[in-house]
Amino acid sequence: MSLVQWIDFPLRGDDRGSLIAIEGTSNVPFGIERIYYIFDTKAGVSRGFHAHKALQQVAFCVSGRCRMHLDDGVQQQDVWLDSPIRGIFIDTMVWHTMHDFSQDCVLVVLASAHYDEGDYIRDYEEFLKQRAVI
């Protein structure tokens, strides 16, 4: 499967403006159990630096932009998240980092489960080791 999987959201536009509705298991490939958003990120700050063992996520910017680096242990790719109508699917066991946040960036993340620190792999060598046994 391709490392970069975009999900286009249906745009409900009319002469008043635009509206996006996202429904779990319909527009994203999982039931949405949690939503969080990252904003007011300070200049020069990078975030992420982990993979998830079981969590699946879809991320997109409703304002501004940031760059996401994805790494499945074999391939690496950078993408810009700069549109509220297109999200990126972050599958399990994909190391991801976020960089170059614009001042107005609001990064929204839809997640398949509640927060669980035990689901994080925060050590890159450990991530590679676990990827090797998949």
Task: Determine if 6 is a binding residue for ligand T46 (CB under 6 A).
Answer: no
Is residue 99 part of the annotated active site? The answer reads no
Q: Which two tokens stand for residue 132?
A: 């090797």
Q: Which residues in the chain belong to E strands, given as ranges?
A: 6-8, 34-39, 47-52, 57-63, 66-71, 76-81, 86-90, 95-99, 106-111, 120-121
Q: Which two tokens stand for residue 11?
A: 């745009």
Of the ranges 17-25, 30-38, 71-79, 126-134, which one interacts with ligand T46 (CB under 6 A)? 30-38
- Least distance in Å: CB of 47 to ligand T46? 3
Of the ranges 1-9, 18-26, 34-42, 70-78, which one interacts with ligand T46 (CB under 6 A)? 34-42
How open is the CA angle 125-127-133, to the nearest 5 degrees? 110
Among 24, 47, 73, 130, binds ligand T46 (CB under 6 A): 47
Write out the residues near ligand T46 by the rule CB under 6 A.
Answer: 34, 36, 38, 47-48, 57, 59, 109, 115
